[in-house]
């Protein structure tokens, strides 16, 4: 997979996350070990308020759990 393809995939994923979790802000951060997804709530209401991971499935799982809490 090329770097451009990876970036496009992450950008598309970011759009889906923004649509599915409107109370959260998202970004792609490039680190020494590759790109990571960052999520945070601008309005802290308790519970999970930020997360950084390279695993999109983990991010969705944690955001779903935060919505149930």
pLDDT, one tens digit for every residue, the chain (69 residues): 456 556 667 778 888 999 999 999 999 998 888 888 999 998 877 888 899 998 989 999 999 998 776
- Chain-centroid distance of CA 8 in Å reads 15
Query: Which residues does residue 26 pair with via DSSP β-bridges, in sequence order?
Result: 39
Tally of CB atoms within 10 A around 55: 11
Measured distance CA(49)–CA(66) in Å, rounded:
9
State which residues form the domain around 26: 3-68
Q: Compute the distance between CA of residue 54 and CA of residue 13 in angstroms, rounded to an integer.
A: 12
Domain tally for the chain?
A: 1
* pLDDT of the residue at 1: 44
Distance CA 33, CA 40 (A): 21
């Amino acid at each position: 997979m090329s770097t451009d393809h990876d970036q496009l995939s992450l950008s598309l994923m970011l759009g889906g996350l923004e649509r599915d979790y409107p109370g959260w802000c998202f970004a792609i951060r490039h680190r020494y070990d590759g790109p990571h997804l960052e999520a945070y709530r601008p309005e802290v209401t308790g519970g999970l308020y930020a997360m950084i991971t390279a695993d999109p499935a983990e991010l969705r799982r944690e955001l779903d759990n935060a919505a149930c809490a």
